[in-house]
Amino acid sequence: MTDSTSKSASRGERKSGFQVGRIFGFPLRLSVSWVIMSVLITVWYGDRLGDVLHLDGAARYLAGLGFVACLLLSVLLHELGHALTARHYGIGVKGITLDLLGGYTEFDHDSPRPGVELATALAGPAVSALLGIGSVIAALLLPDGTIADQIAFQLALCNIIVAIYNALPGWPLDGGRALRAVVWGIKGDRDAGLLVAGWSGRVVAVATVLISVWLYFTGWYQLVGVLFGLFVAFSIWQGAAGAVMTARVRSRYPLVDPVRLARPLFTVPTGTSLAEATRRATEAGHAAPVLGVADSDGRLIALVVPEAAAAVPEQRRPWITVETLARGIDGVATIPSGARGADVIKLLRGDPATPYLVVDGENVVGVLTVMDVVQVLDPAALKAAN
């Protein structure tokens, strides 16, 4: 099974394994899981082929290694189908990684329109289908009872299964990306497509479990096959669940308005005690302000750290000045008041409690933290965290 993903820098890199070179300019990586699986397939298939063709000694495992090399090439060609199609449409490719479940291709950014997404998603299964047909023809033309004939037959089976299974309409399979593109094209909403594809991916995962168990009890699968099927289903379920969550969060992006979410800033001069600053803020009608510290000219020079202020015992607050609990303004990042949704999220980094100044030109509108945004995007997660 293979899948292709599009990861932007803001969502983190999905790099694993080690780079073994470049192909058509794309970095090529092999994961440790693929190396382990290759060794296991070499031994298992070598023994199986050796029994069928009566091979002895090293010949068994050389035949198994030949099959693994052909399988590796098939997966690589599948991923190159995605990568070259993406390049054709001007989408940068970060690299191709081959892992336990086949492989994935990382893009610099999402497809700009549904048609591009559809073409890029289906390119991989199309390549696998062509490889499967080519392998069938090779198996028919090659002499029966030879190593090449057996490997061609097995490659035909593997590539046809990969083409069909990967085309199933469930995220994170290639068919899931195609489904997102179709819904996106119909509704004009990429995230609506992602939500549908995510739920469909959950259906595919459950169906994979049921079919794997059925094949085991009907004698088509051994226990190893069932376990692999369950592992595949678990991986698909995880990817699908992530897609559903991402779609739901993104649907709330329009609610991320830094001006509306910002907590008010109440400024007091240096030397003011914490008790006095709190009293003044309360009298001014601010229920939960962030305290700022101003110099003698009235310029904002620091922000009181709320956690530090909350940790001061009530009886000591008249004797603790606000600047001793403050962070210099030079170390506080800003967010333009006109930013919205994803633009705001891209600016938020670091500790969830880190304050950001929401500014309108040189005027400070208020103070925003990551947790203020999380409360809007995923109130349930925030409640669970508390």
Q: Which parts are annotated binding residues?
A: 78, 82, 174
pLDDT > 90: percent of the chain: 58
Those residues whose C-beta lies under 8 Å from the C-beta of residue 58, and which sit 6 or more positions away, are none
Cβ atoms of 70 and 134 closer than 8 Å: no
**5 pLDDT exceeds 60?**
no
**352 pLDDT exceeds 80?**
no
Would you place residue 9 in the very low, low, confident or very high pLDDT band (cuts 50, 70, 90)?
Answer: very low
Q: 209-252 pLDDT, tens per residue?
A: 999 999 999 988 888 888 989 999 999 999 999 999 999 988 88
- Ramachandran quadrant class, 298 (left: phi over 0; alpha: psi -120 to 50; beta: rest): left
pLDDT > 70: percent of the chain: 93
Between 5-9, 280-284, 328-332, the lowest mean confidence (pLDDT) is in: 5-9
- Ramachandran quadrant class, 358 (left: phi over 0; alpha: psi -120 to 50; beta: rest): beta
For 42, 220, 270, 326, the CA distances from 297, given in Å and listed in that order, are: 77, 82, 11, 18
Looking at residue 60, its pLDDT comes to: 86
Rank 30-34, 53-57, 74-78 by mean pLDDT and report only the highest: 74-78
Tokens representing 313?
């015992």
Looking at residue 40, its pLDDT comes to: 87
Would you place residue 16 in the very low, low, confident or very high pLDDT band (cuts 50, 70, 90)?
Answer: low
Those residues whose C-beta lies under 8 Å from the C-beta of residue 135, and which sit 6 or more positions away, are 152, 153, 155, 156, 159
Neighbouring C-beta atoms of residue 277, cutoff 10 Å: 25
Those residues whose C-beta lies under 8 Å from the C-beta of residue 350, and which sit 6 or more positions away, are 370
DSSP state letters, 128-146: HHHHHHHHHHHHHHSPTTS
User: For residues 158 and 337, what is the distance between their CA atoms, to the nearest angstrom?
Assistant: 55
**14 pLDDT exceeds 60?**
no
Q: 301-311 pLDDT, tens per residue?
A: 999 988 888 89
Q: Residue 290 pairs with which residues in a beta bridge?
A: 265
Q: Residue 168 pairs with which residues in a beta bridge?
A: none
User: For residues 310 and 325, what is the distance between their CA atoms, to the nearest angstrom?
Assistant: 10
Average pLDDT over residues 12-18: 58
Q: What secondary structure letter does DSSP report for 73?
A: H
Would you place residue 381 in the very low, low, confident or very high pLDDT band (cuts 50, 70, 90)?
Answer: low
Tokens representing 364?
């400070």
Q: What secondary structure letter does DSSP report for 323?
A: G
30: part of which helix (H) or strand (E)?
strand 26-30
> What residues are labeled active site?
79
Would you place residue 287 in the very low, low, confident or very high pLDDT band (cuts 50, 70, 90)?
Answer: low
Q: Which parts are annotated binding residues for Zn(2+)?
A: 78, 82, 174
Looking at residue 160, its pLDDT comes to: 96
More reliable by pLDDT, 285 or 158: 158
DSSP three-state, residue 191:
helix
Q: Is 307 exposed, middle or buried (0-12, 13-18, 19+ CB in 10 A)?
A: exposed
- In our burial notation (b when 16+ CB lie closer than 10 A, e otherwise), range 41-77 reads bbeebbebbbeeeebeeeebbebbbbbbebbbebbbe
User: For residues 280 and 270, what is the distance between their CA atoms, to the nearest angstrom?
Assistant: 14
Tokens representing 210?
């049921």
Tokens representing 120?
């890029």
Would you place residue 52 in the very low, low, confident or very high pLDDT band (cuts 50, 70, 90)?
Answer: confident
Those residues whose C-beta lies under 8 Å from the C-beta of residue 93, and which sit 6 or more positions away, are 26, 83, 86, 87, 105, 106, 107, 108
Looking at residue 2, its pLDDT comes to: 45
User: For residues 153 and 142, what is the distance between their CA atoms, to the nearest angstrom?
Assistant: 10
Mean pLDDT for the chain overall? 88
More reliable by pLDDT, 171 or 32: 171
Average pLDDT over residues 288-313: 88
How many residues are present in the chain?
386
pTM of the model: 0.79
Between 148-157, 268-277, 371-380, the lowest mean confidence (pLDDT) is in: 371-380
